[in-house]
Structure 1
Amino acid sequence: MLTVDFDRLNVGPAARVIDVGCGAGRHSFEAYRRGADIVAFDRNAADLADVEVMFHAMAEAGEAPEYAKAETVCGDALELPYGDGEFDVVIASEILEHIPLDEQAIAELVRVLKPGGALAVTVPRWLPERICWALSDEYHANEGGHVRIYRADELLDKITARGVRYTHQEFAHALHSPFWWLKCAVGVSDERHPLVQAYHRMLVWDMFSAPALTRVSERLLNPLIGKSVALYFTKPGGGR
């Protein structure tokens, strides 16, 4: 389940990409499939170990081109261990809401991006997130949880202040908003609640089957209750 639209980023052969806060690796795997040289970057070593296993499995199964490169790196988004302008594409999906010093993290994302490169940042959208916070403290008030709720224009201003140019905004995962509202209402940790289980089965079915009904419904609902907002930027200069 991708939040970032890779077609907007021109991710393909020879592109050097870093997925900052990669988590379970969903965006890193897509970059690898498209032939990019991908760095899956995260502070969670256990998650990165699983991502590394998947990279090897993809290579053995021929799911990524032989020339593509994939590596995992453990580190801090506030101090990326790379020089200025090393990456053609920088992805930061659903991480800034976890970071108290978000402006420092944003500065690092922009610093390692090449002139002419593309930056994609996604965060939970204000309205769905506000409802989750109202329904449940457990949803956000935990170690490593969400420390803020962004308005899209607030985040846009923080990012463009670092010298990149805003290009596009879109919303994603509208069908996931009611799922999280339901979880917050019955208890975030109550995975066995029958309504939660039923809705989860629907989401899994939708992800693997992509039926027209749910795909069209989500496209129509995304502008209203999309769970995430994705912002796209380019860095002035360069030839991309």
Structure 2
Amino acid sequence: MEKVIYLKMVQMERNHWWYKGRREFISKLIRPYLRPNLHILDAGCGAGGTMEYMARYGSVVGIDISEEMVEYCRKEGLSAYHGSVTKLPFANGLFDLVLCLDVLEHLPMDQIAVEELKRVIRPGGLLVISVPSFSWLWGRHDELNQHCRRYNFGELIKLVQLAGLSVERSTYFNFFLLPPIWLARKLGRLLPMGPGQTYLNFGTVRLNTLLYSILKLEAELLGKFNLPIGVSQVVLARKK
């Protein structure tokens, strides 16, 4: 990932509509499965926004491939390690819950990463994975973020099942904003975009609040049914 993108992530992770909305969505997804005082791993923790949010459910440890992100997390008082999700520096069965949010798409060997994530989960523990969906949504944003792929129907579920995990729930995320995001991606192929530019820009405060409200609504709908399509896919799986 370009360094300028990392700098934007530090600025955005705690207040940007997409990051805030994703945290609400993941929280709603896992809540029925939680017990008190969980030991949680955020694999690909970035600037630590999700770690801070998940602390309400137990103790949280993070790991990231970026030394800059790990250093930033530590300065914020978070427990973060430098390393790769394909070779985690943790004992077998250490965590009750592992989050791997928008990480696998960066890895050439995503299956190895899922196997390694499974290794550090206790029997009966949970893994939550989110990835960008649908190759037809591919755009300059993916290239700037050095994505290897977007995941089409069934691909993420197959990946999880090949690792021997049981899928508890699979849903999409960012359903209502799919049409405008699709249009932005298509237009983005025609328009020049300089270093560090990304579709994660805040826009105005009002727009940021509006878009967050839309994703928060999606999180509430998740309590009733799975979303059939969206910009991202989320899978909740259990280690047998």
2:79 aligned with 1:71, yes or no?
A: yes
Is the 1:125–1:227 contact (alpha carbons within 8 Å) kept by the matching residues of 2? yes
Q: 1:173 is matched by which residue type in structure 2? A: N
Q: Which runs of 5+ in 2 are unaligned?
A: 1-19
Q: What TM-score does the superposition give when structure 1 sets the normalisation length?
A: 0.72
Q: Which residue does the alignment assign to 1:130?
A: 136
Aligned-pair CA distance for 1:159: 1.1
2:87 aligned with 1:85, yes or no?
A: no
2:105 aligned with 1:100, yes or no?
A: no
2:71 aligned with 1:49, yes or no?
A: yes
Is the 1:171–1:226 contact (alpha carbons within 8 Å) kept by the matching residues of 2? yes
Q: 1:226 aligns with which of 219, 225, 230?
A: 230
Partner Cα distance (2:45, 2:193) in 1: 23
Aligned-pair CA distance for 1:226: 1.9
Aligned-pair CA distance for 1:139: 2.6
Is the 1:17–1:89 contact (alpha carbons within 8 Å) kept by the matching residues of 2? yes
Partner Cα distance (2:108, 2:121) in 1: 22
After superposition, the Cα gap between the structure-2 partners of 1:51 and 1:203, relative to the gap in structure 1 and judged at 3 Å, is farther
2:30 aligned with 1:28, yes or no?
A: no
After superposition, the Cα gap between the structure-2 partners of 1:211 and 1:229, relative to the gap in structure 1 and judged at 3 Å, is closer
Is the partner of 1:7 in helix, strand or coil? helix
Q: 1:16 aligns with which of 19, 39, 44?
A: 39
2:137 aligned with 1:166, yes or no?
A: no
Percent identity at matched positions? 24
Is the partner of 2:156 in helix, strand or coil? helix
Deviates more, 1:4-13 or 1:160-169: 4-13
Partner Cα distance (2:200, 2:47) in 1: 22
Deviates more, 1:162-171 or 1:84-93: 162-171
Q: What TM-score does the superposition give when structure 2 sets the normalisation length?
A: 0.72
How large is the RMSD of aligned CA atoms in angstroms? 3.4
Rg: which structure is higher? 1
After superposition, the Cα gap between the structure-2 partners of 1:20 and 1:116, relative to the gap in structure 1 and judged at 3 Å, is same
What whole-Å deviation, never above 9, does each CA across 1:48-88 have from its counterpart, x for those lacking one?
2333344x3xxxxxxxxxxxxx5111101110011111110
Partner Cα distance (1:53, 1:25) in 2: 11
After superposition, the Cα gap between the structure-2 partners of 1:118 and 1:211, relative to the gap in structure 1 and judged at 3 Å, is closer
For 1:159-198, what aligned pairs fall within 5 Å after superposition?
159-177=160-178, 178-179=180-181, 181-182=183-184, 185-186=187-188, 187=191, 189=193
Q: Which runs of 5+ in 1 are unaligned?
A: 57-69
After superposition, the Cα gap between the structure-2 partners of 1:100 and 1:31, relative to the gap in structure 1 and judged at 3 Å, is same
Aligned-pair CA distance for 1:107: 0.6
Partner Cα distance (1:211, 1:151) in 2: 24
Is the 2:65–2:83 contact (alpha carbons within 8 Å) kept by the matching residues of 1? yes
What whole-Å deviation, never above 9, does each CA across 1:168-214 have from its counterpart, x for those lacking one?
012212355424642652447469x9x99796655411366x379x8
What whole-Å deviation, never above 9, does each CA across 1:144-167 have from its counterpart, x for those lacking one?
511112124122112112221111
